[in-house]
Amino acid sequence: MHADDPNHPMAAVSPEPGIAKPDPILTVDAVSRSFGGLKAVDVDHLEVQRGLITSMIGPNGAGKTTFFNLLTGFDDADSGTWSIDGTRLDGKPPHVVARSGVVRTFQLTKALAKMSVFDNLMLGAAGQQGERLTHALFPFLWRKQEAEVKERAEELLDRFKLGHMRDEYAGTLSGGQRKLLEMARALMVRPEIILLDEPMAGVNPALVQSLLGHVTALRDEGLTVIFIEHDMDVVMGISDWVVCLAQGSIISEGLPRAVGSDPKVIDAYLGTHLAEEATPADAPDLAPESTAHPEEPTS
């Protein structure tokens, strides 16, 4: 269902920063993180609706990646709490966060270059008995599970069209293929929430379409997707909800169109661009008429 549809689950939610959602899976309160004098993240309240695609936008250095790092335990917040379905995750180390169903990908892709594409996927599966030292030496304790994991890995390999690279070192993949691999590997964990940090960055336009297809498919399977993206066409096309961060705080959230035409958002983008002495023409095209569907490339 496209976000412009009046029956969209978020159609009735008013576009205010920190607004409550009908069915939030992730709730964030008073999270802050400073680097020296710089307040990188300062979010009062944010709820993320279950089973939808929520995009995070914001100019470079707005604090999007830092926000992801805090949520997933890769960085320590100065203050704040967050929880998924009532389970507190603040202060938890990354592996505990992942085991609670929140899995992330990285802005700079972390494909494990010296492992095969297939082993990258096998690694992802959660709760593997053979990863326990007490079990590792006794294959009969993990062989059955290993076979199940293998089956799922083969499925994802096919789905993400990486089958022909199965036994190659992941280091031989192209940038776009690595993004696909990282996403597929995250799915091996069977997360409830997947956090994607610029999954389309540096990916060729043909592959962008396929990546977008995968992201929408994840939502349609019931996953909650939060993703950081700079390309406004992409954001307008597939998001159910958009959150705009600037200087660490949420300055706007709402349906894609509403955020896209919010003067505060346009200001934030133009502001930073002017500050960098770039021409306003460099600013992303936020006008509503440019909300192209990803399925219909404009090129």
Ligand X SMILES: Nc1ncnc2c1ncn2[C@@H]1O[C@H](COP(=O)(O)OP(=O)(O)OP(=O)(O)O)[C@@H](O)[C@H]1O
Interface residue list for ligand X (CB under 6 A): 35, 38, 40, 58, 60-66, 107
Q: Scan residues 34-53 and list those touching other proteins (CB under 8 A).
A: none
Q: Smallest distance, Å, CB 73 to other proteins? A: 8
Return the HEC string of 79-98.
Answer: EEEEEECCEECCCCCHHHHH
Q: Smallest distance, Å, CB 169 to ligand X? A: 28
Closer residue to other proteins (CB): 184 or 208? 184
Q: Scan residues 185-224 and list those touching other proteins (CB under 8 A).
A: 185-186, 188-189
185 binds, among ligand X, Mg ion, other proteins, none (CB under 5 to 8 A by kind): other proteins
Q: Rounded distance, CA 253 to CA 235, Å?
A: 13
Closer residue to ligand X (CB): 6 or 36? 36
* Options 94, 155, 257, 274; binder of other proteins; rule CB under 8 A: 94
Q: Rounded distance, CA 254 to CA 136, Å?
A: 49
Q: According to the binding rule CB under 8 A, does residue 61 interact with other proteins?
A: no
* Options 136, 217, 278, 287; binder of other proteins; rule CB under 8 A: 136
Closer residue to ligand X (CB): 120 or 249? 249
Q: Scan residues 31-90 and list those touching Mg ion (CB under 5 A).
A: 65
For the record, the structure tokens of 12 come out as 């009735």
Q: Rounded distance, CA 162 to CA 165, Å?
A: 5
Long-range contacts of 93-102 (CB under 8 A, 24+ apart): 97/71, 97/72, 97/73, 98/72, 98/126, 98/189, 98/191, 99/126, 99/127, 101/190, 101/191, 101/192, 101/193, 102/26, 102/71, 102/72, 102/191, 102/192, 102/193, 102/195
Q: According to the binding rule CB under 8 A, does residue 147 interact with other proteins?
A: no
Q: C-alpha angle with apex 129: 160 to 225, nearest 5 degrees?
A: 35
- Name the residues that contact other proteins, by CB under 8 A: 72, 74, 93-95, 98-99, 103-106, 110-115, 119, 122-124, 126, 128-133, 135-137, 139, 142, 146, 169, 171, 185-186, 188-189
